């Protein structure tokens, strides 16, 4: 005979009024939560069922685990040696890859010919387009907001944005020596989640990190002597 153990994954007790749109968006029987999975560059939206009316707490999912008593199920070749039971956690209803919505950004330097002592403008384009998730009756609008750590390879680092084409660009740098440098941009994509009703849902988890880089050759400008005098007339 087998015994069944009821394993409670999580139970959260809270006052009903504290479960607001700052942390989750709720209907009469469900609440929407949003998080990031930085390891896989994903946005994860989950719908949690709320308790019955009059009970101010969420109901945690319960998973049943079969505990073997006299033999393994399924049987194994070595009696008495059994594989550990598998606990199946509830799966998120929607998982969307951020990489799928961030285009292949190109790191551009203006001008393309980099000269010692002359400022250059750096930027990343094209910009990501907002996207929509549909989950458990909720419509969720996702916007990716970047923060960038620029490294110009010559010891200079700068925090900023993705920048932009000249003359609106805000990421400007001047190389002081001639050499070959690796210019890189470390982009942290923060996730902004807003419901179709215009309410922002707090997103838990870390920002999603993507890196971009290119090599640049910095040259010294060559001086040319140009005569400005004119020949005297007889």
Query: Is 219 in contact with 178 (CB distance < 8 Å)?
Result: yes
Phi, psi of 194 (to 5 degrees): -130, 135
Closest CA to 139 of 96, 198, 204, 97: 198
pTM for the whole structure:
0.65
Q: If you average pLDDT over residues 36-44, what whole number do you get?
A: 91
Question: Length of the chain, please?
Answer: 234
Interior angle at CA 213, CA 204 and CA 175, nearest 5: 120
Query: Is 32 in contact with 26 (CB distance < 8 Å)?
Result: yes
Q: Which domains does the chain have, with CATH numbers?
A: 3-219 (2.60.40.10)
Q: Is 163 exposed, middle or buried (0-12, 13-18, 19+ CB in 10 A)?
A: buried
- Residue 15, pLDDT score: 27
Peptide bond into 205 cis (omega under 30): no
Interior angle at CA 89, CA 49 and CA 48, nearest 5: 15
Q: If you average pLDDT over residues 80-89, what whole number do you get?
A: 57
Model pLDDT for residues 99-153, shown as the tens digit of each residue: 888 888 999 999 999 999 999 999 999 999 999 988 878 889 999 999 999 999 9
Tokens representing 199? 């309410």
Model confidence at 156, pLDDT cuts 50, 70, 90, reads: very high
Report the run of H or E that residue 50 belongs to, with start and end.
none
Closest CA to 218 of 188, 185, 175, 189: 175
* CA 115 vs CA 164, 166, 181, 208, 219: distances in Å: 20, 17, 12, 34, 5
Quick one: DSSP state of residue 16? G
Query: Is 203 in contact with 36 (CB distance < 8 Å)?
Result: yes
Question: Residue 128, Cβ neighbours under 10 Å: how many?
Answer: 17
Q: Provide the 3-class DSSP secondary structure of residue 102.
A: coil
CA dihedral over 198, 203, 206, 209, signed as positive or negative:
negative
């Amino acid at each position: 005979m087998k015994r069944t153990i009821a394993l409670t994954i999580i139970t959260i007790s809270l006052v009903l009024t504290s479960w607001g749109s700052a942390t989750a968006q709720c209907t009469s029987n469900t609440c929407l939560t949003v998080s990031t999975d930085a390891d896989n560059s994903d946005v994860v939206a989950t719908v949690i069922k709320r308790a019955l009316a009059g009970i101010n707490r969420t109901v945690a999912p319960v998973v049943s685990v079969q505990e073997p008593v006299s033999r393994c199920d399924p049987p194994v070749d070595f009696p008495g040696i059994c594989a550990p039971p598998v606990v199946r956690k509830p799966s998120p209803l929607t998982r969307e890859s951020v990489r799928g919505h961030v285009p292949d950004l190109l790191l551009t330097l203006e001008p393309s010919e980099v000269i010692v002592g002359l400022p250059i403008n750096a930027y990343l384009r094209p910009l990501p387009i907002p996207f929509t998730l549909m989950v458990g009756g909720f419509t969720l609008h996702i916007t990716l907001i970047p923060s960038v750590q620029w490294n110009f390879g010559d010891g200079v680092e700068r925090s900023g944005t993705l920048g932009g084409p000249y003359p609106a660009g805000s990421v400007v740098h001047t190389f002081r020596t001639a050499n070959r440098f690796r210019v890189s941009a470390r982009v942290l994509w923060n996730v902004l989640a807003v419901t179709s009703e215009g309410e922002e849902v707090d997103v838990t988890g870390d920002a999603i990190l993507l890196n971009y880089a290119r090599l640049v050759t910095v040259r010294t400008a060559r001086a040319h002597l140009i005569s400005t005098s004119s020949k005297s007339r007889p």
